[in-house]
């Protein structure tokens, strides 16, 4: 049974978004350094014509905007607290892993997630839910799974249904 851990050895398992940022850093820095060099060369009256620099500058600017956009998808540190709370409520590692996947597909673990096609709201995306407290949302989502006649408390069955039909 895997234990929930935030030690250095398990950092890449518990915080995958940080790993993505760290892997993207060299690329971002490289693009930034190229941009600064091109800008300085243009300002210093380099032998290159501005028309020769324009395509490269456009490419670099677009790469910078793509990287800042992907990194702008904020990682909410509270998400780890929500997951820890759910893990404590479940007490079963396999069920917890299924729940993490299920609610990632449903809401990205966002307590303010709102489905524009239905009245589903919050982390578990329950219909007509008005609860804004994320911990109560988790309780309600687990209660729904526990009392649903198809799942009978088995989160992995709810995940299987979601994989088949797109909701649980």
Domain ranges of the chain: 8-72, 78-165
CA distance linking residue 165 with residue 74, whole number of Å: 29
CA distance linking residue 9 with residue 101, whole number of Å: 22
Using alpha carbons, list the distances in angstroms from residue 161 to 88, 92, 127.
24, 20, 17
Degrees to nearest 5, angle at CA 156 with 155 and 160: 120
1 Cβ neighbours under 8 A, 6+ residues apart: 93
CA distance linking residue 38 with residue 48, whole number of Å: 10
Which of 44, 114, 139, 166 has its CA nearest to residue 122?
114
Ranges of the chain with pLDDT below 70 = 1-75
pTM for the model stands at 0.57
What's the confidence (pLDDT) of residue 36?
63
Residues in the chain: 168
pLDDT tens per residue across span 9-42: 444 444 455 555 455 555 555 555 665 666 666 6
């Amino acid at each position: 049974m895997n234990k929930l851990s935030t030690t250095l050895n398990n950092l890449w398992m518990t915080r995958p978004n940080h790993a993505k940022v760290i892997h993207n850093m060299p690329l971002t820095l490289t693009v930034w350094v190229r941009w600064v060099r091109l800008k300085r060369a243009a300002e210093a009256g380099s032998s290159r014509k501005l028309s020769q620099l324009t395509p490269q500058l456009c490419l670099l600017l677009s790469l910078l905007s793509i990287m800042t956009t992907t990194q702008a998808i904020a990682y909410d540190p509270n998400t780890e607290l929500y997951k820890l709370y759910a893990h404590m409520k479940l007490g079963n590692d396999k069920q917890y892993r299924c729940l993490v996947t299920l609610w990632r597909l449903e809401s990205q673990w966002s307590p303010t997630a709102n489905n524009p096609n239905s009245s589903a709201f919050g982390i578990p995306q329950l219909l007509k839910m008005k609860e804004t407290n994320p911990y109560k949302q988790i309780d309600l989502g687990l209660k729904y799974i526990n009392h649903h006649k198809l799942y009978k408390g088995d989160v992995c069955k709810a995940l299987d249904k979601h994989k088949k039909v797109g909701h649980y």
